[in-house]
Structure 1
Amino acid sequence: MGEPGLSSPSESQLRSSRTTSLSLSFPALREGNRVWERAPPKPGELPSPLPTKRTRTYSATVRANRGPVYKGVCKNFSRSQGHGFISPSHGGEDIFVHISDIEGEYVPAEGDEVTYKVCPIPPKNQKIQAVEVVITHLNPGTKHETWSGQIISS
Structure 2
Amino acid sequence: MEHPAPQGNPTQPAFKGTVVSFHRTRGYGFILPAHGGRNVFVHYTQIVDGRRDGRGYAYVDDGDSVEFDIGTGPSGRRQAENVRIRRDAGEQ
TM score, norm. by length of structure 2: 0.68
1:137/1:66 CA distance change after superposition, 3 Å: closer
1:98/1:85 CA distance change after superposition, 3 Å: same
Q: Between Structure 1 and Structure 2, how many residues are aligned?
A: 76
User: Which has the bigger relative contact order, CA under 8 A and spacing at least 6?
Assistant: 2
Which of 20, 25, 34 is the equivalent residue of 1:89? 34
TM score, norm. by length of structure 1: 0.42
Counterpart residue type for residue 26 of structure 2: Q
Identity of aligned residues (%): 33
Larger radius of gyration: 1
> Quick check: 1:134 aligned with 2:79?
no
Aligned-residue RMSD, C-alpha: 2.9
Question: Which ranges in structure 2 are unaligned for 5 or more consecutive residues?
Answer: 1-9, 52-58
Q: Corresponding residue for 2:70?
A: 118
Q: State the 1:137 CA deviation.
A: 3.9
Structure holding more helix per residue? 1
Equivalent pair of 1:112/1:138 in contact (CA under 8 Å): no
Structure holding more strand per residue? 2
Q: Could you list the structure 1 runs, at least 4 aligned residues long, displaced by more than 3 angstroms after superposition.
A: 65-68, 137-140
